[in-house]
Structure 1
Amino acid sequence: MEEEDEEARALLAGGPDEADSGAPAAPGALPALCDPSRLAHRLLVLLLMCFLGFGSYFCYDNPAALQTQIKRDMQVNTTKFMLLYAWYSWPNVVLCFFGGFLIDRVFGIRWGAIIFSCFVCIGQVIFALGGIFNAFWLMEFGRFVFGIGGESLAVAQNTYAVSWFKGKELNLVFGLQLSMARIGSTVNMNLMGWLYSKIEALLGSAGHTTLGVTLMIGGITCVLSLICALALAYLDQRAERILHKEQGKTGEVIKLTDVKDFSLPLWLIFIICVCYYVAVFPFIGLGKVFFTEKFGFSSQAASAINSVVYVISAPMSPVFGLLVDKTGRNIIWVLCAVAATLVSHMMLAFTMWNPWIAMCLLGISYSLLACALWPMVAFVVPEHQLGTAYGFMQSIQNLGLAVISIIAGMILDSRGYLFLEVFFIACVSLSLLSVVLLYLVNRAQGGNLNYSARQREETKFSHTESMQADGDMEVSWMMRTQKCRIILGDICFTLLKIYSNIKIHNGQGLI
């Protein structure tokens, strides 16, 4: 990355001679903010990447923030309410994978992000219209359309991150992206209820119309995501033109059959992801009523404590991302995060301790896991398969979320919150077992998933030296071959000259 930056700076400054001599930049040199090889420009791109997913994450948890209002205004029970999350996840069981495939093979990152942002906007509008027209089936359809774009947009966001920041910055970038996503979720949890009450006061009564108008106003954030997708597409194309390289492409072509070649460590990462997140998102979706019924919190206090996971995740994700960047040891950090989440759910299930403790622990562990787990995919798959790998990871995650959302609603309606918490504890325990297996498999195969930051740098340096050595050997071989050709040519020329002299001498003797 540093070598590419130096080359780009030399190009933009008028040539390597000027860059090395420290001479002033040429008149045509770009300002730092407009130069794709400079840090300032990459920070601008990172800001747009973060806001790319803001609207999607804000609107994803609209049902959780308005759980009481939706169940009352639309007259549905918990099982039907959880279908709003299930319908979001069902299309992504398949479409996330194909979204990643299309990013790699058909659309590219730019068009993929724009198209998926459009689906997010359209889906939120349909979801809001379902409330306005008192049609719960339309709300479900809106969540379906929203889901088509939401998770695939996250795949595009991850692929953008790897394309621009692959290397020692990647964990920090993932942490910052997660931070902005959690800010979106936090703002949603604490804003939508207040917004509903203001719309109710304006219209004079509560009801499905008030619900629909509230959701429509919340959809403005999705338009923000679309604007960021357009800006990113322009900047990415511009960087490709200026730096004379193709972003995120290797010249290799991804095939759907490549999935069967995914390694065992990658499959274990998938299992960890699914088993962990099904114990977090469905719980938050039902958490507001849980804190009201078990601990006696008011509706406002329950919303606040239910959002504390996202509140903590927003500032802590970049910190943990930087920590993982500096230390490495991704598997160990994932192990700590999953174990802490298990403790958190056990506290919520079997004690009456103040739930702020357990939820703060859950927020910390959730932030740590995301920063350590998701970048590991880039360590075990080739770059040309990244979109497909992340898409497949999102696909099976959404399969788990779709199934568990329905099961969670059924358990809650029939058995109550204690059985639901025991179920979540079982899911986290399976995730913990998968982390242990990943550690053992990685160690047996000599993988780099648990390398320290220093070991990764040394491995990268050794790989670079090896490539340079191979190149030197090839050049040396070519030079020796060329030398041999010259010697053979001289020999042939000398023999030909001797033969010509003999012929001339014989001819003169005959005369």
Structure 2
Amino acid sequence: MADYEERRRLQGDEGSFSGRPAARGAGRPLPAICDPSRLLHRVVVLAFMCFLGFGSYFCYDSPAALQTQVLQDLNLNTAKFMQLYAWYSWPNVVLCFFGGFLLDRVFGIRLGTIIFSLFVCVGQVIFATGAIVNRFWLMEFGRLVFGIGGESLAVAQNTYAVNWFKGKELNLVFGLQLSMARLGSTVNMNIMGWVYSKIADLVGTGHTALGISLMIAAVTCLFSFMCALVLAFLDKRAERILHKEQGKTGEVIKLTDVKDFPFSLWLIFIICVGYYVAIFPFIGLGQVFFIEKFNFSPAEARAVNSIVYIISAPASPVLGFMVDKTGRNVVWVIIAVVTTLTAHMMLAFTFWNPWIAMSLLGISYSLLACALWPMVAFVVPEHQLGTAYGFMQSIQNLGLALIAIAAGAILDTRGYLVLEVFFCACICRQYFPSVLCVYRILVFQTSYLNQSAAVRAKLQKEAASDAE
């Protein structure tokens, strides 16, 4: 009752935007949909959080969805095409360290989210304009601007989630956000070809039709920008009503911590880079691969190329729950790596239906993300987590930028078979460090990496007792 009376008093003082008592009376509580402390209002906020990154993920793979059209209409080779992905990654080699700092210390989470979503929107518009005027350098610049906003916007989205849903709901919220991100990529893969065909019927094929199609895709970024504005308003209102502080990312970046990173953490970095460079560049080049090798139509090629994201959307929360309950993260990482290697070998050396291999790729991709990223928290102290995750993302983006360029060059000179062998080599290169990591953990028992969930809980309980 005391808590209810306190909240009612706050709502009575703060409930009117004008500062005057509301018509309903100062003592009456807010409706559930307008009360920041009620579940219904937070569900509304969650909807805007999920759509905050929808435009960014929708437009990230727009080059992959229109790979055939980009190559033909702009008269590009594959190496130049993959530069569009490299330019997205280059700014994030640095911004992974400073994005959280800018959100916490310079802009604040609300203004920072608006600024980064604006970068995403403007970057996509510049990218589309470059296609309309047939200036590839302008398209590259647009992807650079787009990349400045994209990764930092994801950090802001996670910060909002922690601020509003800290506690038992947080894992579900992260799963829903990831599912919405994958939904954006999936819709993009399957709709952009249809959009291009409709525009081509009106203006004819060529760079103009390509640019207009990309400009239509920018509408999703504009929608996400509007979600950022609404979220800022709702968060500011909740801060005023509930007297809470503005959200922080929790990232503390100290580059001097790098010298104290344990050997197992560097192995995790190697696994991360070696794995993701065999996923995202392949999806970026997958459409033409399925057309040429399996004689798929463009629509079928786009559909099978998007199956990784389609599976990841529902599978990520489920697999995350499974890893939480069982532990043994290193074992799950090895299973994901072996499954991914099997999928790439099937695509490279067989003519089996590619839906099988791509489905395996989608499952293994989700499993590795659920098992690998939490491992960082097991091997470094809490005060170094921000630096460790920032360094991990920085190395990942550096690897993606370099491998994107290399994959384009290999495809132009050697073809898809050699490219698939290259991806298999990338996976094998990081499989052996994971085996070494297992050996180190099982023999020396230096961390929680490969322990079961029950053993981890017991050790945490003993540590808490010792601390008391």
Shorter-chain TM band: 0.7 to 0.9
Inter-CA distance 392–233: structure 2 relative to 1 (3 Å threshold): farther
Task: Tell me how far 1:119 sits from its aligned partner.
Answer: 0.9
Q: Distance in 2 between matches of 1:98 and 1:283?
A: 29
- Distance of aligned partners of 1:263 and 1:465 in 2 relative to their CA distance in 1, 3 Å threshold: same
Question: 1:112-261 to 2 correspondence within 5 Å?
Answer: 112-164=112-164, 171-203=171-203, 205-239=204-238, 242=242, 244=244, 247-248=247-248, 254-261=253-260
Q: Number of aligned pairs?
A: 451
List per-residue Cα deviations over 1:226-285 (Å, max 9, x = no partner). Answer: 2233333444455555264564477x9643433444444433332222111100010011
Q: 1:289 to 1:191 in 2, by over 3 A?
A: same
Residues 135/67 of structure 1: CA separation in 2 closer, same or farther (3 Å cut): same
Question: Do structure 1's residue 283 and structure 2's residue 282 form an aligned pair?
Answer: yes
1:219 is matched by which residue type in structure 2? A
Rg larger in structure = 1
Matches within 5 A, 1:301-320: 301-320=300-319
Confirm whether residue 64 of structure 1 aligns to residue 76 of structure 2: no
Tell me the residue number matched to 2:397.
398
Q: Match for residue 357 of structure 1?
A: 356
Report % sequence identity: 69
1:449 and 1:32 map into 2 onto residues whose CA distance is: 43
Cα distance per residue 1:144-185 (max 9 Å; x no partner): 111111122223334444555566655544433221111111
The verdict on how the C-alpha distance between 1:163 and 1:419 changes in structure 2, with shifts beyond 3 A counting, is farther
Alignment of 1:382-397 (within 5 A): 386-397=385-396
- Corresponding residue SS for 2:347: helix
Report SS of the residue matched to 1:106: helix
Contact 2:309/2:362 (8 A) holds in 1 = yes
The 2-side partners of 1:329 and 1:166 are apart by 25
Tell me how far apart the structure 1 counterparts of residues 462 and 245 of structure 2 sit (CA, whole Å).
Answer: 25
Q: Is the Cα contact below 8 Å between 1:131 and 1:208 reproduced in 2?
A: yes
Of 428-437 and 50-59, deviating more is 428-437
Mapped to 1, the partners of 2:162 and 2:377 lie a distance apart of 8
Partner of 2:23 in structure 1? none
Classify 1:112/1:269 alpha carbon distance in 2 versus 1 (closer, same or farther; 3 Å): farther
Cα distance in 1 between the residues matched to 2:142 and 2:171: 33
Cα distance in 1 between the residues matched to 2:445 and 2:38: 38
More moved, 417-426 vs 104-113: 104-113
Aligned-residue offset at 1:339: 1.6
SS in 2 for 1:75: coil
1:51: how far off?
1.9
CA distance in 2, matches of 1:368, 1:341: 10
Matched residues in 2 for 1:279 and 1:196: separation?
Answer: 28
Matched, 1:12 2:10: no
Check 1:115–1:436 CA distance in 2 against 1; reply closer, same or farther (3 A cut).
Answer: farther
RMSD: 3.1
In structure 1, what residue type is equivalent to 2:132? Answer: I
Which residue of the partner structure matches residue 15 of structure 2? none
What is the letter of the counterpart of residue 371 of structure 2? A
Whether contact under 8 Å (2:155, 2:249) holds in the other structure is no
Q: Give the Å deviation of 1:56.
A: 0.8
Distance 1:451 1:40, change over 3 A: farther
Aligned-partner SS, 2:332: helix
> Residue type of the partner of 1:341?
T
Q: CA deviation at 1:31?
A: 5.3
The answer (yes or no) to whether the contact 2:52–2:224 under 8 Å persists in 1 is yes
